[in-house]
Amino acid sequence: MTPEQGLARLEAIEDIRQLRTRYFHACDSKQLEIVCECFPEGEVELRYGHIVEMHHGQNALSSRGDFHATI
């Protein structure tokens, strides 16, 4: 991994952390408009495969079944 790739990876991780924080704060404060802004416009397809357990935002990003989170 080049230094530029490493920096881009760290920036992507931080972007995900900030988005996650914004999303959960908006959920807690019932700010639906901000919740909606956390998702891309248009149709979104998520493939989770077999879900083994439910997470509530406190756990690190991980992969389960056929779903893969890439940072």
pLDDT in tens, 45-62: 766 666 555 555 654 444
- How high is the pLDDT of residue 55? 52
43 phi/psi in degrees, rounded to 5: -75, 140
The domain containing residue 8 runs over which residues?
3-37
Domain count, the chain: 1
H helix intervals, the chain: 3-28, 32-37
Tally DSSP H helices, then E strands, for the chain: 2, 0
**pTM beyond 0.75, yes or no:** no
When pLDDT is averaged across residues 4-30 and rounded to a whole number, the result is 93
Residue 20 lies in a domain: yes
Residue 70 lies in a domain: no
Distance CA 66, CA 10 (A): 25
